[in-house]
């Protein structure tokens, strides 16, 4: 068990909280503030316990100076101020006198947000390469370090591993929740445990399949990756996505775990990847030579629903069709709706699957939508996350 924010007396202490405010932005506006909302319990706890709260986060990638303006955390500071109903002191730099002075003048319960940690990437990728001096410098600004940024926990950066190496540390409530639901819960689930995997390439999910095939009762395969499995069964898949390098892996998996790995029995095929393309539902073994598989078919939806409704725990990572195009979204929408309806622990990986849940307005009906895409995949692969490993044990 890792130490948590609750293991420290925060009274009058400068508490650095590494949050994940890496929110999607369009034209300077935040399009989804889920990650900010998920950070609030830890921030509020620190405020209520009279800490001087110093928030750090990255936002997007910084490669050239053109990236600076569009990846400023200023908009996030304003949104956070609104959500907390409290002043958030924003400092538009990541080091220097102004930052140091503002931190020194904080009073218990005050909240300060530093500019995007990746501004430090402009000069030698100091944040992303966990520059020793930078981690030490940021640590010198606080007394206690709390990591609540699950989304970057699979990376070893100055703002997580770096700072934590120099300060008493712990995890925040969001990190605790993610580790419990995506980690412990998978190792010791209420059964049946069903895992739904979709998305584009099999290769991205090989580690997840290898780890979960031993733990789950069923793995339902949809999305682009289903077509490599169908090819592995000897079906012809037309112009559907094929991950040739993973074909052998799919053949092996079906041979060894054929009773657990459930692949589509019918699919929606289209002439083109286009909203108005002509489409048809066909048996998975009967695809046209020139067609593209874009979604699972109605019989597969019913089959998947049957497994889902019998389950006590369901983990879902990856849309089962090209849900961004409305004529190809039925499978993903139906799976999302079924998850929302059942009385079971339902966990959705971040990234595209999380966007699908938001698109259909179902977030409140899912036990947890993870705030981390890559990090949630690595946890499901059974990997250790560097941002968590560095945190002291209880
Ligand atoms: P991933 O990032 O691996 O989870 O992949 C998500 C992407 O997979 C989404 O953009 C979907 O459009 C895409 N996807 C889902 N079904 C298919 C399919 N049948 N063929 C190609 N791509 C798909």
Task: Verify that 359 and 311 share a domain, yes or no.
Answer: yes
Q: How far is the CA of 198 from the centre of ligand 1 (A)?
A: 7
pLDDT mean over 97-123: 98
* Surface-to-core class of residue 367, CB atoms within 10 Å of its CB (0-12 exposed, 13-18 middle, 19+ buried): middle
Task: Verify that 307 and 222 share a domain, yes or no.
Answer: yes
- Say whether pLDDT at 30 is over 80: yes
Task: Verify that 133 and 188 share a domain, yes or no.
Answer: no
What is the edge-to-edge ordering of all strands in the sheet holding 89-91?
A: 89-91, 111-114, 52-56, 14-18, 144-147, 169-171
Closest CA to 297 of 212, 391, 227: 227
**Residues 134-150 pLDDT 10s:** 999 999 999 999 999 99
- Say whether pLDDT at 350 is over 80: no
52-56 vs 111-114, strand pairing mode: parallel
**Residues 175-203 pLDDT 10s:** 999 999 998 888 999 999 999 999 998 99
Q: Is residue 386 domain-resident?
A: no
Task: Verify that 364 and 233 share a domain, yes or no.
Answer: yes
**Residues 266-304 pLDDT 10s:** 999 999 999 999 999 999 999 999 999 999 999 999 999
- Tell me the C-alpha distance between 162 and 102, whole Å: 22
Ligand 1 atom at minimum distance from 205 CA: 3
* Ligand 1 and 319: CB distance under 6 A: yes
Residues with Cβ within 8 Å of 266's Cβ and at least 6 positions away in sequence, in order, are 281, 282, 283, 284, 296, 297, 298, 299, 300
Task: Verify that 15 and 147 share a domain, yes or no.
Answer: yes
- Tell me the C-alpha distance between 159 and 136, whole Å: 10
Q: What is the CATH number of the domain that holds 270?
A: 3.40.50.1260
Q: How far is the CA of 223 from the centre of ligand 1 (A)?
A: 6
Residues with Cβ within 8 Å of 219's Cβ and at least 6 positions away in sequence, in order, are 194, 195, 196, 197, 209, 212, 213, 257, 260, 261, 262
Task: Verify that 163 and 204 share a domain, yes or no.
Answer: no
Q: Give residue 77's pLDDT band: very low, low, confident or very high (50, 70, 90).
A: very high
Q: Is residue 391 domain-resident?
A: no
Task: Verify that 111 and 197 share a domain, yes or no.
Answer: no
Rg, C-alpha atoms of the chain: 23
Task: Verify that 167 and 200 share a domain, yes or no.
Answer: no
Pocket perturbation via mutation, ligand 1, pick of 207, 224, 330 by most ligand atoms within 8 A of CB? 224
Is-contact 148 171, C-beta < 8 A?
Answer: yes
Which structural domain range is residue 10 located in?
5-174
Pocket perturbation via mutation, ligand 1, pick of 208, 329, 352 by most ligand atoms within 8 A of CB? 352
End-of-domain residue from the set 146, 174, 202: 174
Is-contact 112 53, C-beta < 8 A?
Answer: yes
Terminal alpha carbon distance of the chain = 6
Q: Is residue 389 domain-resident?
A: no
Task: Verify that 161 and 222 share a domain, yes or no.
Answer: no
* Ligand 1 and 224: CB distance under 6 A: yes
Q: How far is the CA of 34 from the centre of ligand 1 (A)?
A: 22
Q: Which residues have a catalytic role annotated?
A: 35, 201, 351, 374
Task: Verify that 166 and 232 share a domain, yes or no.
Answer: no
Q: Is residue 288 domain-resident?
A: yes
Q: Which residue has the tokens 């506006």?
A: 29
* Ligand 1 and 223: CB distance under 6 A: yes
Task: Verify that 163 and 108 share a domain, yes or no.
Answer: yes
* Ligand 1 and 373: CB distance under 6 A: no
End-of-domain residue from the set 127, 151, 174: 174
Mean pLDDT of the chain: 96
The pLDDT, as a whole number, for residue 152 is: 96
- Tell me the C-alpha distance between 78 and 117, whole Å: 18
Domain count, the chain: 2
Q: How far is the CA of 225 from the centre of ligand 1 (A)?
A: 8
* Ligand 1 and 349: CB distance under 6 A: no
* Structure-token pair, residue 367: 């036990």
Is-contact 140 120, C-beta < 8 A?
Answer: no
- Tell me the C-alpha distance between 73 and 200, whole Å: 31
């Amino acid at each position: 068990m890792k130490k948590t924010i609750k293991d420290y007396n925060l009274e009058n202490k400068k508490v650095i909280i590494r949050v994940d405010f890496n929110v999607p932005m369009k034209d300077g506006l935040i399009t989804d503030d889920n990650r900010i909302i998920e950070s609030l319990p830890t921030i509020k706890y620190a405020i209520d316990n009279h800490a001087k709260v110093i928030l750090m986060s990255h936002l997007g990638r910084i490669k050239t100076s053109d990236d600076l303006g569009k990846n400023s955390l200023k908009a996030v500071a304003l949104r956070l101020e609104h959500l907390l109903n409290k002043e958030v002191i924003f400092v538009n730099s990541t080091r220097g006198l102004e930052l140091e002075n503002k931190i020194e003048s904080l009073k218990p319960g005050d909240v300060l947000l530093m500019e995007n940690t990746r501004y430090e990437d402009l000069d030698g990728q100091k944040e992303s390469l966990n520059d020793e001096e930078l981690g030490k410098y940021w640590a010198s600004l606080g007394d206690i370090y709390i990591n609540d940024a699950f989304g970057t926990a699979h990376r070893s950066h100055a703002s997580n591993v770096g700072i934590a190496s120099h300060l008493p540390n712990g995890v925040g409530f969001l990190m605790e929740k993610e580790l419990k639901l995506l980690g412990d819960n998978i190792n010791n689930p209420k059964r049946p445990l069903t895992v739904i995997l979709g998305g584009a390439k099999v290769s991205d999910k090989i580690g997840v399949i290898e780890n979960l095939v031993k733990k789950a009762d069923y793995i339902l395969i949809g999305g682009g990756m289903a077509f490599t499995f169908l090819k592995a069964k000897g079906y012809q898949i037309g112009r559907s996505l094929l991950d040739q390098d993973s074909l052998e892996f799919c053949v092996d998996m079906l041979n060894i775990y054929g009773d657990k790995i459930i692949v589509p029995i019918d699919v929606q095929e289209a002439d083109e990847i286009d909203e108005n393309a002509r489409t048809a539902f066909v048996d998975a073994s009967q695809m046209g030579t020139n067609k593209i598989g874009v979604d699972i078919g109605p019989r597969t939806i019913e089959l998947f629903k049957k497994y889902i409704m019998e389950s006590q725990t369901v983990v879902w990572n990856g849309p089962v069709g090209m849900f961004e195009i409305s004529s190809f979204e039925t499978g993903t929408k139906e799976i999302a709706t079924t998850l929302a309806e059942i009385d079971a622990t339902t966990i959705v990986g971040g990234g595209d699957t999380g966007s699908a849940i938001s698109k259909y307005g179902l977030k409140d009906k899912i036990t947890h939508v993870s705030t981390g895409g890559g990090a949630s995949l690595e946890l499901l692969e059974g990997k250790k996350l560097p941002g968590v490993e560095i945190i002291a044990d209880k």
